[in-house]
Amino acid sequence: MTQTAAVSPAVSSPSAALAEFAAGLTFADLPDDVVAHMKVALLDTLGCGIFGASLEWTRILRHTLAGLETAGDTVLIGSSARLSGAHAVLVNGAAIHGFELDDLHARSIVHPGSVVLPAALAAAQRDPAIGGRELLTALVAGYEVAARVGMSVGAAHLLRGFHPTGTHGTVGAAAAAGSVLGLSAEQMVHALGIAGTQAAGLMAAQYASMVKRFHAGRAAQSGYYAAYLAGLGYTGITGLLDEEYGSYGTTLSPSFDRDVITAGLGETWEVRSVGFKPYSTNGSCHPSIDAVLDLRAAHGIRFEDVAEVRLRVSSATYEHVGWPYVPGSVTTAQMNLPYIMAVAFADGDAFVRQFTPERITDPALVEFTRRVTVTADPAIDAEGDKGRHHTLIEVVLTDGRVFADDRRFARGSARRPMTPAEVEQKFDKLVSGLIDDASAARIKEIVSGLDEQPDLTGLFDALGQDVGGTAYRI
């Protein structure tokens, strides 16, 4: 990549400091536990991508893009087809985010794997010198940048109606692709500035659409474009996170904290706070699911025993998932707390089978949602962004008994983490029936020893196989 960017930013600014960090990060800088956690995140992300490749909305996107170009050479997760780099990034990002199963950095409200990995993979495929260590370094750079930018605008960004993965994902993807390309700090600040001005994604997509999945792919694509453009001298907003007027934070949120962008940068690793999802629903619903499953097990509560469910949550959770349920698409159900309460009580789970076309329109489940009340609690809001998922639940039974639970952190979050073995089990569950056992084992082997892989040929070969069957239908 030619070093041609003309501007040398002052490292005192948040934008420049973040760019210098991403451009200068090396594998030797990464603590062992950060590397280990990044591998777990990678395996989880690939499992989500393989499952997502089988979904109808991913197929529509893949076939549409294939019709817009004559040839491509970049690997698609779960498909033997190839597309151009930018189109492959779009499809892979959408596939990973395809069923609300991908990893989550809770404070920034970003699903980093769906935006960072596609951009890094596509860039890496163009350079045979890129091995496992370089890929892991790029992924960490992207995760850190996306998380810190997201934290700086907080839940107020979500409350304003933006989809944080679609917005913050652009800069995370740019940092990851830029790391693979070896951008200088000067080029990286332009890459972030090019990416950040493309930030987009409206949270109304959660109600009844396929396009929410597209947001992740588009953010990854925007970051991928940004890195390549910056490497050839195209200039972006050098003060993306610094300016008062028209900058990222001041425009996209009424509450912008510049200091969090650089606080502990290179010492406090946000990768460590990335959690994994045991349920295929919006993360704001996970504490409630945990509570329901525990109450069912402890007290033998049956679906027909429940007269009322009362939930007190943050305003962000209320706006995000607390609205009255009207059956629509799978997205509608996955993003709706009343429906998820109904199916969790009925099935004792909230994974893939709870979101089939038949299940999300089941009259008994729809009727149950009318018994669920969700209220924004000012006391929870007073806890700030760290309390965004705090949930208080009361379950009133038909015999008059009342059971209560108080959940601050969900299973799978950084505070109640899934073990690497549990994430591996999730991977196996997601890919079962879609790829053969030998291929699944090969992917797990490659990811486990990725830092010893001199090149990524084996990984690309393992990922670029057609998934068998359809895991889910519309």
Does 103 fall in a domain? yes
Q: Based on the domain organization, do 137 and 113 belong to the same domain? A: yes
pLDDT digits (tens, 9 = 90+) for 80-116: 999 999 999 999 999 999 999 999 999 999 999 999 9
369 near 324, Cβ under 8 Å?
yes
What does the pLDDT average to over 347-375?
96
Pick from 275, 298, 323: which residue ends a domain? 275
Block residue for tokens 């009340």: 373
pLDDT digits (tens, 9 = 90+) for 49-75: 999 999 999 999 999 999 999 889 999
pLDDT at 442: 97
Q: Based on the domain organization, do 317 and 268 belong to the same domain? A: no
| pTM of the entire predicted model | 0.94
Distance of alpha carbon 42 from alpha carbon 77, whole angstroms: 13
Q: Based on the domain organization, do 193 and 79 belong to the same domain? A: yes
Q: Based on the domain organization, do 31 and 155 belong to the same domain? A: yes
pLDDT at 209: 87
Does 442 fall in a domain? no
How many C-beta atoms lie closer than 10 Å to residue 453's C-beta? 18
Q: Based on the domain organization, do 231 and 144 belong to the same domain? A: yes
Q: Based on the domain organization, do 116 and 197 belong to the same domain? A: yes
Q: Based on the domain organization, do 145 and 222 belong to the same domain? A: yes
Does 210 fall in a domain? yes
For residue 80, give the CATH number of its domain.
1.10.4100.10
Q: Which residue has the higher pLDDT, 166 or 414?
A: 166
469: confidence class by pLDDT, cuts 50, 70, 90: low
Q: Based on the domain organization, do 231 and 296 belong to the same domain? A: no
Does 394 fall in a domain? yes
> Residue 148 belongs to what domain range?
14-275
Distance of alpha carbon 40 from alpha carbon 444, whole angstroms: 10
Q: Based on the domain organization, do 292 and 266 belong to the same domain? A: no
Distance of alpha carbon 327 from alpha carbon 168, whole angstroms: 30
Does 18 fall in a domain? yes
Q: Based on the domain organization, do 81 and 99 belong to the same domain? A: yes
Residue 473 pLDDT more than 80? no
Q: How far is CA 356 from CA 210, 282, 359, in A?
A: 15, 16, 5
Does 313 fall in a domain? yes
Q: What is the mean pLDDT of the chain?
A: 94
For residue 356, give the CATH number of its domain.
3.30.1330.120
Q: How many domains does the chain have?
A: 2
471: confidence class by pLDDT, cuts 50, 70, 90: low
DSSP per-residue letters across 123-155: HHHT-TT--HHHHHHHHHHHHHHHHHHHHHHHH
Pick from 275, 302, 325: which residue ends a domain? 275
Percent of the chain with pLDDT over 90: 93
Length of the chain, please?
474
Q: Based on the domain organization, do 195 and 175 belong to the same domain? A: yes
Q: Based on the domain organization, do 252 and 156 belong to the same domain? A: yes
pLDDT at 9: 41
Distance of alpha carbon 469 from alpha carbon 280, whole angstroms: 20
Does 365 fall in a domain? yes
Pick from 391, 407, 423: which residue ends a domain? 407
